[in-house]
Amino acid sequence: MKKFLLYAGIALLTASPSQAQGQGPRKWSGEFDALVAGQTVQRIAGRQVQTVSPDQMVDAHVSVSDAEAVAQYITDNGFEAEVITPRLITVTIPASFIKPLAERSDVRFVNAPQQCYANMVDVRPETGVDKVTAGEGLETPFTGKGVIVAVIDQGFEYAHPAFSGRVVRYGASGSTGTLTSKMPTTDSRDDVGHATHVANIAAGNKVSGADYHGIATGADLILISSDFQTTSVLKQAKAIKTYAESNDQPWVLNMSFGATVGPHDGSTDYDRAMSDLCGEGGLMVAAMGNEGGTKIHARREIDSDDTPVYLKFKPGSYNSSNFVYGTIWGEATDGQEHFNVQLIVYTMGKRHELTQAQLNSASVYVWQGIDTNNQRQYYTIQGSLEGLASAVGASSLSSCSFFFEITGKAGTAFHAWLDNDNAPCEFVTSATPYRALPGDDEYLVGECGASIPNAVAVGSYNIRDKFTNINGSSYSMKNANGATGALSYFSSPGPQLSDALKPAICAPGGCIISAFSQNSREFSSYASYQVASVTSGTKKYYYGMMNGTSMASPAVTGILALWLEANPKLTYDDVLDIFKQTARRDSQTGSADENGWNPNAGYGKIDAYEGLKVALQKADQSGINQVMNTETPVSFMKNADNWKVLFNNDESYALIEVASAGGQLVYSNRIDAPRRGQEHTVDLNRFAPGVYVLHVNTLAGSITRKVVVR
C-alpha cells in the first residue's frame, strides 16, 4: 500500500544549482557554497536584495556533538554563539569562518536558516488555523483540549518530542483493538515513518527549535500501529470509541490508508460497521488516495447484445510481482446477472480462453456473483500474469496481451478497477486484435477509509511546489504535484457510486513538512527529504517532506478537533454542512454544481476559522450552553483592514472599545446579549495609522489586545 500512503519519489525531485555546486561531502548548507568559495552573493532578506561578501557576518545554526566546546571555540575567535541544546547552537560568524568551523570533528553540520521553506508552518495559516503573515492572525483559545485525536497507521516514532506528554493510549497490537498506557519501544511496521508524519500534522507538539507543529496541539492522542487488515481496523476503531466515551470525550479518528479494489459505494460490511461507530462527537477522517492520473478505472456500456466490450490491462512498471488484482461491478442494483466476463490471453497470433483447470494451474483465482449488500453483479480476479502466460505456452510474459471480454444485455453499464498498491496494473489502449479504450482516473474514492459512508473524505492541494532540505539543497515538486495552490496531481477524484459526497473537502497535502521517524527502514533513503532536526535530551529528532492525501487528511482531523472543542456534539452531517457554508472555492478548485461541490475538490479548501464560527453557532442551536474548555470569552481574527471578534459563548452583554496609545477612546460599541458564534467586525480603516488598544469586556471576563494600524 505504499503508493496510497505516500506519494513521493527521489526520481521526481529536481536538484537546484546549489546542490550542483557542491564538490563532494561538505558539512554546510549548499546556500553557503559560494561564500565559502570566496564569492560575493546576493540574497533576499526582508523582501530586499542584499549583497553579502565572504567577510560579512551571517547567521547559522550548527548541529554539534559538544555544544559547550564549539560555542567556546567560536567566542574565543571573537564571534557570537549561543547554546540552544546540548546538540545545537546558533552562531553569527563571517562566511569565511564556515569552513574552518565545519572542519572540527565535533561539528556535524552548519545549517543556513530555513524557515522560509517550512511548509508545515504554511499549512496552519493556509487553512485559517493561524495566520502568521504581517498584520494577520487568528487568536483563539481552541486547541483541541479535551478532544481525542486518534491515528491508526504504520510507522510511529513514539519517542519523538512531537508526541511527548500527549499520548493517553497506544495500540498494543497490530491485529487487536487492545489499548495500553505503556509506550511501545518501536513500531515494527515502520517502513517510511508515515504515521509519525501524519500524527504530527494533526496534533503534534510545539517543539523548541522547529516550527513544524500540528494543529490540535491541546488534544489527547491515541496512536495505534495497525496491520491495516479491516478486521484489525474495526477492533481498533471500536477501542477508540469505547475509551473516548468512557472518559466522556469527543473523538476524531484519522485514517490515511485505503485500497483501490472494491464496490466503491460504501456498501461493504466493513464500511457500514465503521460508519456506525460515528455519531455525535465521534468523527472519522480518511484520505481519498493517491491514484490521480493512473488509469486504473474504466466505465463501459454494452452497445448491443452481440457486441463484446474489451478492456486490456498490463502490469505497471512497479509491478515486480507481475500479479493482477482487478474487479468489475455492474451498476444495476436489482440482484440480477447482466453480463459475462471472459479472461483472454492473446499470444503468437492465438486467442486463449482459459479453463478453470488452467486458471488453477496458473494460481489465478476468479470469483463472481451477486453481492448481498448492494445487489450488484461483480467479477474479481487475482493471480499471477506469469502463471497465465505459462498456462497458454507463451514464450514470455512480454509476448502476451491480457483482455477482459465483457458480453451481455444492451445498455448494461459496469465499472472496472485494478489494484494500484500491491499489484499495480493499468487499463491501456488496444487496436488489435481487439479494440480497447484506455482507462481513466475517475471514481477512485479509496476503499476501507474514504469509502466509509460517515467518514470525511479528504483530497489534496499543494501548499507550495518546492522545499529546501537540511543540507541546503532545493528541490522542485512542481512536476510531481502541480503548482502551488492547485489540486495535487496525485489526489484521487470521486465521485463514489452512491449519494455520498466523496471527497467532502480538500486540504494541504502537497509538499508538507512534518515529523520524520529516524527509526524507519527507509530513513537513510529519504535523506534528501529531511528538512530540519532538533535535539531533545541527548537525542536528535527529525522533520521532513512528504506528499499525499495521507498528509491532507490529518490537517482536516486536527481542524475538526478544534471544532469539537467548540461543539462536542458535532456529527458527520454537521461537518458537511459547515464545509458547504464555509469552504473556500477559487479558480483552482474548479467549477461546482448547484450545491457548491465537485468530484475533485469536494466543497473546496477547508477554512478553520469560518468553520469554527459555524460550529459555535450550531452548538448554540443544539442547546450546548458552554464550549468545552475555552478560557477566554472571545476569539480574534486579525486582518490588515479589520479585527473580527468572535464570541465563544452566549453573553448577557459585551462592550467593545478601542483607545489610542494615549488613552483617548476612539471607538465604543455595546452589544446586548451576543450569541455564541456571533461575530463583530471592528473596521480599522476608520483609524489613523498608529498603535491602539482593543478592549472587550463581558461578564465572563475581559481581554485586551494591542492593535497596529498601518
Specify the amino acid at residue 198: V
- Say if residue 333 is exposed, middle or buried (CB neighbours under 10 Å; 0-12, 13-18, 19+): middle
Q: How far apart are CA 587 and CA 277, in angstroms?
A: 37
Q: How far apart are CA 118 and CA 210, in angstroms?
A: 9
Q: H or E segment at 539?
A: strand 539-546
> How is residue 374 written as a grid cell?
448492494
pLDDT in tens, 370-416: 888 899 999 989 888 999 999 999 989 999 999 999 999 999 999 99
- Say if residue 663 is exposed, middle or buried (CB neighbours under 10 Å; 0-12, 13-18, 19+): exposed
Angle separating helix axes 608-621 and 549-566, nearest 10 degrees: 40
> How is residue 85 written as a grid cell?
541544546
Give the other-Cβ count within 10 Å of 276's Cβ. 12
CA distances 692 to 309, 670, 705, Å, are 73, 19, 9
Whether residue 556 is predicted with pLDDT greater than 90 in this model: the reply is: yes
Total residue count of the chain as it appears in this document: 710
Domains of the chain: 30-113 (3.30.70), 120-291+447-615 (3.40.50.200), 297-428 (2.60.40), 632-709 (2.60.40.3080)
Task: Lowest mean pLDDT of 89-98, 511-520, 583-592, name the range.
Answer: 89-98
What does the pLDDT read at residue 31?
A: 59
What φ, ψ does residue 681 adopt, rounded to 5°? -105, 130
Identify the CA nearest to 84 among candidates 539, 472, 535: 535
Q: How far apart are CA 603 and CA 461, in angstroms?
A: 13
Q: How far apart are CA 230 and CA 174, in angstroms?
A: 11
pLDDT in tens, 146-169: 999 999 999 999 999 999 999 999
Say which residue, 16 or 632, is predicted with more confidence: 632
> How is residue 570 written as a grid cell?
458535532
Identify the CA nearest to 422 among candidates 384, 450, 365: 384
Which residue's entry shows cell 470469483?
Answer: 367
pLDDT in tens, 244-296: 999 999 999 999 999 898 999 999 888 888 898 999 999 999 999 999 999 99
Which residue's entry shows cell 465521485?
Answer: 495
Mean pLDDT, range 199-206, rounded to an integer: 95
Give the three-class secondary structure for 11: helix
| Confidence class for position 358, pLDDT limits 50, 70, 90 | confident
Whether residue 51 is predicted with pLDDT greater than 50 in this model: the reply is: yes
Question: What is the DSSP track for 669-705?
Answer: EEEESPPTT-EEEEEGGGS-SEEEEEEEEETTEEEEE
Specify the amino acid at residue 262: G
Mean pLDDT, range 11-35, rounded to an integer: 49
Say which residue, 510 or 357, is predicted with more confidence: 510
Q: How far apart are CA 136 and CA 6, in angstroms?
A: 33
Q: H or E segment at 532?
A: strand 530-536
| CA of residue 602 relative to chain centroid, distance | 15
pLDDT in tens, 91-144: 788 888 888 898 999 998 886 532 221 222 345 556 666 533 334 566 777 889
> How is residue 372 written as a grid cell?
448481498
Q: How far apart are CA 402 and CA 14, in angstroms?
A: 36
- Strand arrangement of the beta sheet that strand 530-536 belongs to: 512-516, 539-546, 530-536
- Residues whose CB is less than 8 angstroms from the CB of residue 132 and which lie 6 or more positions away in sequence, other chains included: 121, 124, 125
Identify the CA nearest to 292 among candidates 599, 526, 607: 599
Angle separating helix axes 119-127 and 194-203, nearest 10 degrees: 40
Whether residue 24 is predicted with pLDDT greater than 70 in this model: the reply is: no
Q: How far apart are CA 702 and CA 515, in angstroms?
A: 37
- Residues whose CB is less than 8 angstroms from the CB of residue 398 and which lie 6 or more positions away in sequence, other chains included: none
Q: Do 652 and 665 meet the contact criterion of CB atoms below 8 Å apart?
A: no
Q: Before 433, cis peptide (omega within 30)?
A: yes
Specify the amino acid at residue 293: G
Whether residue 460 is predicted with pLDDT greater than 60 in this model: the reply is: yes
